[in-house]
Amino acid sequence: MDSKYKTGSLINGSSPQKNGPSQDDGHLPKKFRSDDSPHSKGYSNSSINKHRRSLPVFAVKNRLLDEINNSPTIIIIGETGSGKTTQIPQYIHEARLEKAGAIAITQPRRVAAITVALRVATEMGCAVGHTVGYAVRFEDVTRGDTKLKYLTDGMLLREALSDNLLMMYNVIILDEAHERTIHTDVLFGIVKQAQSIRRAKNFKPLKVILMSATMDVDHFSAYFDDAPIVYLQGRQYPVDIMRTTKSHEDYNFAILVTVFQIHREAPPNEDILVFLTGQEEIEAMVFNARLVAKDLMKSAPHLRVLPLYAALAQFQQLEVLRPGLPNTRKLILSTNIAETSITIPGVKYVIDSGMVKLRTHNPMTGMDSLKVQRISKAQAWQRAGRAGREGPGTCYRMYTEEEYNKMAEMTVPEIQRCNLSGVVLQLLAMGVNALSFDFMDKPPTESIMEAMRKLSHLNAILSVNHPELTPLGRQMATFPLDPHYSRVILAAWEMGCVEEVVTLVAVLSGENLRVTVSKRREDAAAAHQKFVSSTGDHITNLNIFRAYNSAAMKKQFCFDNFLNNRNLEYAGGVRSQLLDLCRHSNIPISSCGQDSDCIRKCLIAGLFGNLAQLQREGHYLTVGSNQVVAIHPSSVLFRSKPPLVIYGEVVQTGRCYMRQVSSIDPDWVAQMAPTEFQRKLCLNGAG
Ligand code: CDP
Ligand code: MG
């Protein structure tokens, strides 16, 4: 198509054939037939029925059910789109293998849990929340008699806090196991333990199923006592790989050029999927692509530009899954969420930036950062594969062969690169010391020790050598939050500003409230000015939320003030859930009115590890770890230089930028932070 690209290898249709799948549908014993199910009314929709029967997994339904029946644990490998997530739980339910219990199906992402539950409810002809339901953080759409419960891995882990044998479930499916999220990794150990204790105590048995696209199966099988592996014959057509011949400084521009080249030449029903790194980058490209598309209006088919990322409202995510309109091309700009979690119909072209935004943690400096980095080879192939689900396709890689060769084979599991304080706390709340926990891949001991030190500073445990939960720690574990933020809320209890702090934490758990990408950048800045607090982003966000909350016409208010309605709506939802949790824990909902100082003091109680001090040379150094950091351009403090600031997170894009920044009075540190941190502050010369 373009001399910039070099054609490379093709992905061909064959997948590993160990224990090769039987292609015959076989004849199900009568009791296994789906039309006997009480939901058979739902199956009367013949197009859904046809769709279900056309999925690769349907061909091996019998064998799968046999395997599931015969072994306590099985591993199922199949390409994305083969029907694992939507079909296998239904097969199990049709065969009543869950007996009187329920089937849990975990997903690393909330979007996937929700959309899949909706899809399965449609297929079964029932309303979501009845036989099929979902539970994600801050939203539980299930009832007591829900049989197929799609939930995030984090939610199942929470449930294990109150019952580590997970007695509610007779079948637990850990889906997308290859993603190796921190929660899934912990769940491997938890379900393995629950299974063996239930067996030893003669309780009802627990069936465990691991499902995944591609992964290091032998490693998984060995960990789960040589569990059998079933391969599904995926539907994979050849994908032509095109690579750039020179590396790109700015891949965003190169991607846009490629998008519009395809758009001008390809038939309109062939959709394009672009892999980018995060919401801001995606929104910027959505904006630019729409501008270009408008210019091309007459000379090309209509282009529908659709963003896809985790924080997007549900209806917008569903938009992506809807089949295309006639004479219209879909351009989907997505994070790695579209790698495996979500199957998008109609995609023929994939454009891969080769980058991903990952949370990483440096146990030496104790710093967490969101870092844009190269994907692994496994991810590169997974992304390319998305172009060949319905027919032959093409993948444009925005990186050279040399850059590809330098990529790691597999992504490092999150548990080996992330801050472990949340996990260590949750394990302790279940009575387990992370140091002796049976991890599939043990995180570095130093990371566990560092998490223990953090928990000890937070007063969540007695001491590093005596890691027993304090009453405060026990209370922290009840919040579905990072322990640092649970601590901030508990500090607000003492300080009398629970309402404000809960609102802040709710806002922080979502995405940006302010719309910054717009043709009217200056108007936006002017509109935002009235919310700005000179103390920083936290109080500014609080001002925005308060104004929004009291506005009568919320949508109009957001439009007029360049605010993101859905992010505010999301924050509002999280806020009411957190307030409910507080009431549940007998924490009174106090308010400090206009006194913003006490709110920022509470931040120190949890985020004392995130302080940065202005140096004589004009840059900031983090307290304790001495990393050079700068205030992010999106912060309201960008143009000012307070001597001491507290930040929410560090993003690494070339430089290390602090986000969610507020100024802090050094005297408050003495009042709110553990002594060790006060000493560090003095050493750096401010205190
Ligand atoms: O889990 P796996 O990737 O193997 O496949 P799946 O999520 O069960 O999806 C199987 C098929 O169901 C997809 O190829 C889509 O055609 C369809 N599906 C859908 O239409 N809407 C969804 N929300 C999920 C799946
Ligand atoms: Mg799936």
Query: Which residue segments constitute the domains of the chain, with CATH numbers given?
Result: 3-232 (3.40.50.300), 239-414 (3.40.50.300), 479-681 (no CATH)
pLDDT of residue 438: 96
Q: Categorize the per-residue pLDDT at 110 as very low, low, confident or very high, splitting at 50, 70 and 90.
A: confident
Least confident range from 132-146, 337-351, 389-403: namely: 337-351
pLDDT of residue 259: 97
Measuring CA to CA, how many Å separate 625 from each of 449, 629, 654? 17, 11, 19
**Region 251-275: what's the mean pLDDT?**
95
| Per-chain mean pLDDT for the chain | 88
Least confident range from 161-165, 183-187, 380-384, 509-513: namely: 509-513
pLDDT of residue 460: 96
How far, in Å, is the centroid of ligand 1 from the Cα of 557? 38
Pick the closest to residue 393 from 276, 266, 304, 282 (CA basis): 266
Give the DSSP H or E segment for 189: helix 182-200
Q: Cβ of 292: how many Cβ atoms within 10 Å?
A: 16
Q: What DSSP letter does each residue of 410-433 carry, written as one string?
A: SPPPGGGTS--HHHHHHHHHTT--
Orientation angle between helical segments 153-162 and 182-200, nearest 10 degrees: 40
Exposed, middle or buried, 398 (CB in 10 Å: 0-12/13-18/19+)? buried
Pick the closest to residue 74 from 170, 196, 173 (CA basis): 173
CA angle at 418 for the pair 414 and 420, rounded to the nearest 5°: 110
pLDDT digits (tens, 9 = 90+) for 12-50: 333 322 232 232 222 222 222 222 333 333 344 788 999
How far, in Å, is the centroid of ligand 1 from the Cα of 481? 30
pLDDT of residue 279: 86
Q: Residue 533: helix, strand or coil by DSSP?
A: coil
Q: What are 460's strand-pairing partners?
A: none
C-alpha 624/C-alpha 262 separation (Å) is 51
Q: What are 394's strand-pairing partners?
A: 240, 349
Residue 466 CB contacts under 8 Å (≥ 6 apart), including other chains: none
Taking the alpha carbons of 125, 129, 132, 134 in that order, is the dihedral positive or negative?
Answer: positive
Flag whether pLDDT at 681 surpasses 50.
yes
State CA 326 to chain mean position distance: 33
How far, in Å, is the centroid of ligand 2 from the Cα of 654? 34
**Region 356-364: what's the mean pLDDT?**
77
Q: Which residue lies with its CA nearest to atom 14 of ligand 1?
A: 81
Task: Assess contact for 664 and 613: CB atoms under 8 A.
Answer: no
CA of 116, closest atom in ligand 1: 23
Per-residue burial over 183-205, b if 16 or more Cβ lie within 10 Å, else e, is bbbbbbbbbbbbbeebeeeeeee
C-alpha 118/C-alpha 514 separation (Å) is 30
Q: Which residue lies with its CA nearest to atom 12 of ligand 1?
A: 83
How far, in Å, is the centroid of ligand 2 from the Cα of 176? 6
Tell how strand 207-212 and strand 148-152 pair up.
unpaired
Whole-prediction pTM value? 0.83
Residue scoring higher pLDDT (410 or 262): 262
Q: Which residue among 64, 80, 114, 119 is best mutated to probe the pocket of ligand 1, counting the most ligand atoms within 8 A of its Cβ?
A: 119
pLDDT of residue 682: 65
- One-letter amino acid at 1 equals M
Measured from CB, residues less than 6 Å from any atom of ligand 1 are 55, 78, 80-87, 115-116, 119, 321, 343, 345
Q: Which residue lies with its CA nearest to atom 7 of ligand 1?
A: 85
How far, in Å, is the centroid of ligand 2 from the Cα of 426? 27
C-alpha 136/C-alpha 156 separation (Å) is 9
Pick the closest to residue 483 from 431, 423, 435 (CA basis): 423
How far, in Å, is the centroid of ligand 1 from the Cα of 86? 6
CA of 115, closest atom in ligand 1: 23
Name the E strands within 420-484.
none
Residues in the chain: 687
Ligand closest to the CA atom of residue 177: 2
Task: Assess contact for 327 and 248: CB atoms under 8 A.
Answer: no
- One-letter amino acid at 419 equals N
